[in-house]
Amino acid sequence: MNFTQQEMGPGVRLYLCPTDKFKTLTCKVFIQQDLQPREAAQTALVPLLLRRGSQRFPTTGDIARELEDLYAADFGSDVLKIGERQILEFHFQMVDPQFLPQGQKLLRRSLETFWEIASRPYGEGGFFEPYFQQERHNLVQELEGLINDKRTYALVRCTALMCAQEPFGIYKYGDADTVRSLTAGEVYAHYQKLLAGYPLDIFVVGSQAKKAAEILAGLIQGRDGQQKLQPPQRVEVEQPRYFEENMDVQQAVLVMGYRTKLTYPDGDYYSLLVGNGLLGGFAHSKLFINVREKASLAYYVSSSLEGSKGLLTITAGISGEQKEQAVEIIQRQVRDVQEGRISAQELEQTKRGLISSMRSMQDNPSSLVDRNLIGIVHEELRSIEEVVEAIEAVTLDSVVRAMGHLQLDTTYILRPSPQKGAGHGTD
């Protein structure tokens, strides 16, 4: 279940996976650009504006009625951050035409609808101003609403503090102040530039992938595709930093950010991936066993790897009073992995676990596509077989070597205000 790749025009690459395994046809389009403060905010508004209406379907209701009529076809658009790239995504999924009455006709109509919504927003020579005003307000609300999910908020805050001087510190949707200052004209101009000039990757999965790609090729026209992009910045840690924030919450969220030095293009990358798995990727990992099962300090504790920028982040939900103890146990687990105190069983379990989740992606069209995002950013796609082979080749020594580069940069904790008890509501 791999993709065949072909160039489809200036800066456009097409990846096809014809298969009759699924009951759906899935298309995803990714347009990438360098992560920059103003552009991040501009791009973040695009998905919100697209769902308001297009030339042929001028309102949200018109779009929704058309999609329902196509047997609940799904159009979606979002913004992602991979390393120091911001990615504008359009995706489309429909029931495989073979299960629908007049499937062939519906396939063409559906894809035309897809590209209509993605590329022809409602308005005359720009976004419709009332839609723009409202969606700009909604995006500000969404950014200010980050605080509603304490775990996500803590992660975003830690990243922003740690990478304050680097593009990676920018949140994927930009920041509220920048969004407030945006004009419809500049957002539209930026959106047009993205459509015409930035690298664009299309993935199609389904029994009619070839046919779908032909139709899409006819729809995606008029590109110059000349835009060149930058690689991510590398930074040395000078002195570990500590930040604390108080809020009226029931539980503290602890986030520890490490620099990995190694990233996707490096030889030892898969040893780092296994190292992260040993540390906190699974329920058999050191963090889960020691912080949760042995010390009963947390319900959730895990680590995750951002392989494009090179960051390893540990997150735990703990009691505010137990911070010192939690940090100490966590740091001991990191040292244990770095110094090779890893049993043969742990190493084997972690490799098996990573290989299983890699192979499992072939059972879901969306994961099958999304696993390639880091590959398109680094212009090196790797097949599932290649990755499985690379994980198989990881040894205790290579894990120790890879994890040896890890350096703690920033510790952040969001915790209950000391002078007040846990927050209780009032009726």
Partner 1 sequence: MEQIKLPGGETLFQERLANGLQVMVLPKRQFLRTFGILSVHYGSLDSKFELPGRGAVEVPPGIAHFLEHKLFEEEEGSVFDRFAAWGASVNAFTSYNQTSYFFTTIDHWRESLAYLLEFVHTPHLTEENVEKERGIIEQELRMYADYPEHRIVATLLENLYHENPVRLDIGGTVESVRSITLAELQLCYDTFYQPGNMALVVVGDVEPQAVLELVRSSCPAGGNGQAVLRVDPAEPSGIVKPWAETQLPISRPRYMLGFKHDPLWRGQELLRMQIAMTLGLRLLSGRSSQAYAQLYGEGLVDDSFSASFRGHPRFAHSLISSETDDPQALHGRLVQIIDGLKAGGVEEGEVERLKKGFYGLFLGALDSFEYTANRLTAQYFEGTPYYSYLEVLAEVTARDVQSALAEMLDWERSSVSILRPVQSHG
Question: Within positions 84 to 123, which residues make up the interface with partner 1, using CB under 8 A?
Answer: 93-95, 99-100
Structure tokens at 138: 């909604």
For 290-398, strand residue ranges (E) read 298-306, 311-318
The only residue of 179, 205, 318, 342 in contact with partner 1, by rule CB under 8 A: 318
| 137 vs 341 by CB, closer to partner 1 | 137
Placement of tokens 């969306």 in the chain: 366
The only residue of 91, 190, 259, 292 in contact with partner 1, by rule CB under 8 A: 292
Structure tokens at 267: 């030889």
Q: Which CA distances in Å does 236 have to 24, 242, 313?
A: 46, 17, 17
Q: Please, what is the minimum distance in Å from the beta carbon of residue 81 to partner 1?
A: 20
Placement of tokens 């101009």 in the chain: 189
Q: Does residue 298 touch partner 1 according to CB under 8 A?
A: yes
Structure tokens at 415: 């915790």
Helices then strands, each counted (H, E), the chain: 16, 11
Task: Tell me the C-alpha distance between 285 and 24, whole Å.
Answer: 36
For partner 1, what does the binding mask look like between residues 19 and 58, x meaning CB under 8 A?
x-xxxx----------------------------------
Q: Please, what is the minimum distance in Å from the beta carbon of residue 259 to partner 1?
A: 28
Q: Does residue 65 touch partner 1 according to CB under 8 A?
A: yes
| 148 vs 221 by CB, closer to partner 1 | 148
| 246 vs 398 by CB, closer to partner 1 | 246
The only residue of 214, 293, 379, 385 in contact with partner 1, by rule CB under 8 A: 293
Q: Please, what is the minimum distance in Å from the beta carbon of residue 60 to partner 1?
A: 6
Placement of tokens 């329920």 in the chain: 283
DSSP per residue, 368-424 = HHHTTHHHHHTT----HHHHHHHHHT--HHHHHHHHTT-EEEEEEEEEE-TTS-S--
Q: Please, what is the minimum distance in Å from the beta carbon of residue 426 to partner 1?
A: 6
Q: Please, what is the minimum distance in Å from the beta carbon of residue 331 to partner 1?
A: 20
The only residue of 91, 204, 353, 403 in contact with partner 1, by rule CB under 8 A: 353
| 237 vs 247 by CB, closer to partner 1 | 247
Tell me if residue 340 falls in helix, strand or coil.
coil
User: Of 407-426, which residues contact partner 1 (CB under 8 A)?
Assistant: 417, 419-420, 422-423, 425-426
Task: Tell me the C-alpha distance between 417 and 189, whole Å.
Answer: 45
The only residue of 331, 362, 398, 407 in contact with partner 1, by rule CB under 8 A: 362
- CB under 8 Å to 276, separation ≥6 — which residues? 303, 304, 305, 312
Q: Please, what is the minimum distance in Å from the beta carbon of residue 265 to partner 1?
A: 27
β partners of residue 413: 244, 254
The only residue of 40, 73, 155, 158 in contact with partner 1, by rule CB under 8 A: 73
Structure tokens at 164: 């304050």
Q: How many CB atoms lie within 10 A of CB 314?
A: 27
| 137 vs 332 by CB, closer to partner 1 | 137
Q: Does residue 389 touch partner 1 according to CB under 8 A?
A: no
- Interface with partner 1 (CB under 8 A), residue total 80
Q: Please, what is the minimum distance in Å from the beta carbon of residue 223 to partner 1?
A: 30
State which H helix or E strand residue 206 sits in: strand 200-206
| 122 vs 258 by CB, closer to partner 1 | 122
- CB under 8 Å to 171, separation ≥6 — which residues? 40, 81, 143, 146, 156, 159, 160
User: Of 121-180, which residues contact partner 1 (CB under 8 A)?
Assistant: 134, 137-138, 141, 144-151
State which H helix or E strand residue 165 sits in: none
User: Of 228-257, which residues contact partner 1 (CB under 8 A)?
Assistant: 245-251
Task: Tell me the C-alpha distance between 287 and 263, whole Å.
Answer: 23
Q: Does residue 331 touch partner 1 according to CB under 8 A?
A: no
User: Of 265-284, which residues contact partner 1 (CB under 8 A)?
Assistant: 282-284
Q: Which CA distances in Å does 103 have to 16, 30, 71, 75, 217?
A: 20, 26, 11, 18, 20
